[in-house]
Structure 1
Amino acid sequence: MNAVLFAAVIGVGIGLVVGALGAGGGILSVPVLVYVLGMAPHDATGASLVVVGLTAVVAIRHPAKHGNVRWKEGAIFGAIAIAGAALASRLSLLVPERALMLCFGVLLLVVAAVMARRARLLRAEENAKETGPTLAGQPSEPEPQPSRLALVLAASATGLLTGFFGVGGGFLAVPMLVIALGLPMRAASGTSLLVMIMTSAAALLARIGTPTHIDWPAVLIFAAGTVLGGMVGGPVSAKARPSSLTALFAFLLAGVGVLTLATS
């Protein structure tokens, strides 16, 4: 029980990340489920889908209230992603557990590098807004043009990662919603939660009839922590610097990635 309560406390932190960034927190669920709650990796990837989905359902309320969820674009992105999520969810069960965790450790380090780069870009944008001159009538930069190919590739990759590793895929969905659909960053963060709900549900349903075992009491207690954090994370994002949150998360991912590789 002590391990479950400790996992719930960690879950609050994960929920904060999901609510504040609209991305990334779910990728920490699997290491917690494996190393704190002692679940087998295959079971942990299935249980993580429950945690990710429930957290996103709660966290989406804040951005939706402020008009930062693009329902149509998110539904299109999610509809493309769910096919990959269902397929990868089944394929994941065919991979040996040690190999699965090694791949997951590599994924953590890759995402850490991506998030660190994003943090630098966000910090540069924030500094430019604070110190740069504001000229009346200055033409605004043209918005990125949506790319159908980028949309299909990004959505498919998001679904595959969600199903295979039990992660939300938001770390990939957010930048690709910006690039492929031209959404502003805050709208992309909110919309990615809708994508996470759709893909995690599809991947979880695809595991029906498989040997995946979910310890529901432990998972729901852990999920309660992430849900609580998700409720707080939305308002936090409106006050904290996105670059600071992203940099902190990148550092955390790198540490967990190294630990995962070392123990695998």
Structure 2
Amino acid sequence: MDPVQALLGILSGVLVGFTLGLVGGGGSILAVPLMVYLVGVRSPHVAIGTSAAAVAANALAGLASHARARTVKWRCAGVFAAAGVLGALAGAHAGKAIGGQRLLLCFAVLMVVVGLLMLRGRGGTGDPGATCTRGNIGRIAGAGLTTGLLSGFFGIGGGFLIVPGLMASTGMPILNAVGTSLVAVAVFGLSTAVSYAASGLVDWPLAGLLVAGGIVGSLGGTRAARVLAGSRGLLTRVFAGIIFVVALYMIWRGLALLLPEGQA
């Protein structure tokens, strides 16, 4: 890795961490396109495997903070993550079997979904006493399996899907859902990274740079969020717009490479 690429890797981590700290879930969706189009990682599979490793590390750092604040529902997290890790391993296996450009096209479609979910917002207060019971354990496991599959396939944290999944299956408030989701994000990311690493598809030095940049960026994003608290809705809409623009670029770029000359 040359110095310029290393610097761009740190910058990518800063951008991802800043957006996560500023607007919450969905920021890590930018990690793969940043590595492919900014850092210059030639293999989309390496970009996905490396992103998964960085996402897992950042999630663990966030989990420590939420654990101290007692916002993690550990029993729900355990059921969700246990079911989801099976999905993550299956998703990672399927993702590696698909051509790189086709995988990026699928990733771009997912980005559009992320943008739409961010625009919808997360309403409802929830029940602070919600927990995992015999009545909802099936729903929790089902939601975990589904989000784990998507997380493993695309090498993302999946918090934007895990949080509403936890809220819908248990009725817990969003604060608890965010804290609890980090257990699953860390487990899914680690499972995906291990699967990709076994195939030699993780750039560990680059993953380290992403994590380092992400820590710095998240601190800045969190501070900015406090200052701009009254504009949080506007910031989310702007970030969703950025996601749409990046997704459209990826779709255009991917179709141009996949279609025969003269048809793109």
Aligned to 1:134: none
Aligned to 1:8: 10
Residue 182 (structure 2) aligned to one of 177, 193, 204: 193
3-state SS of 2:72 partner: coil
Residues 207/216 of structure 1: CA separation in 2 closer, same or farther (3 Å cut): closer
Aligned to 2:204: 216
Residues 80/233 of structure 1: CA separation in 2 closer, same or farther (3 Å cut): farther
CA distance in 2, matches of 1:45, 1:173: 19
Residue 85 (structure 2) aligned to one of 58, 82, 87: 82
3-state SS of 2:32 partner: helix
Aligned to 2:260: none
User: For residues 126-183 of structure 1, what are the alpha-carbon distances to aligned partners after superposition, in whole Å with 9 as ceiling and x for unaligned?
Assistant: xxxxxxxxxxxxxx98788974443233211211111111000111001111111111
Q: How does 1:1-264 map to 2 (within 5 A)?
A: 1-19=3-21, 23-39=25-41, 40-118=43-121, 147-212=136-201, 214-233=202-221, 240=229, 242-264=232-254
> What's the offset of the Cα at 1:87?
1.1
CA distance in 1, matches of 2:59, 2:185: 7
CA distance in 1, matches of 2:82, 2:217: 27
CA distance in 2, matches of 1:205, 1:64: 25
2:97 counterpart letter in structure 1: L
> What's the offset of the Cα at 1:110?
1.3
> What's the offset of the Cα at 1:16?
3.1
Residues 219/16 of structure 1: CA separation in 2 closer, same or farther (3 Å cut): same
CA contact (8 A) 1:59 1:234 kept: no
CA distance in 2, matches of 1:92, 1:62: 32
C-alpha RMSD over aligned residues: 2.6
User: For residues 166-216 of structure 1, what are the alpha-carbon distances to aligned partners after superposition, in whole Å with 9 as ceiling and x for unaligned?
Assistant: 00011100111111111111111121111100111112222343242x332
CA distance in 2, matches of 1:197, 1:111: 19
CA contact (8 A) 2:63 2:182 kept: yes
1:166 counterpart letter in structure 2: G
1:116 counterpart letter in structure 2: L
Residues 156/235 of structure 1: CA separation in 2 closer, same or farther (3 Å cut): farther
CA distance in 1, matches of 2:225, 2:64: 13
> What's the offset of the Cα at 1:61?
2.9
CA contact (8 A) 1:7 1:37 kept: yes
3-state SS of 2:83 partner: helix
2:242 counterpart letter in structure 1: L
Which range is displaced more, 147-156 or 32-41?
147-156
The alignment-based identity, stated in percent, is: 31
User: For residues 6-42 of structure 1, what are the alpha-carbon distances to aligned partners after superposition, in whole Å with 9 as ceiling and x for unaligned?
Assistant: 3322322311343455522221111111111222101
CA distance in 1, matches of 2:127, 2:163: 19
Segments of 5+ residues of structure 1 without an aligned counterpart are 126-139
Q: What TM-score does the superposition give when structure 2 sets the normalisation length?
A: 0.82
CA contact (8 A) 1:30 1:48 kept: yes
Residue-pair matches, total: 245
Where relative contact order (Cα < 8 A, 6+ residues apart) is larger, the structure is 1
CA distance in 1, matches of 2:22, 2:44: 27
CA distance in 2, matches of 1:63, 1:246: 22
CA distance in 1, matches of 2:126, 2:195: 43
Segments of 5+ residues of structure 2 without an aligned counterpart are 255-264
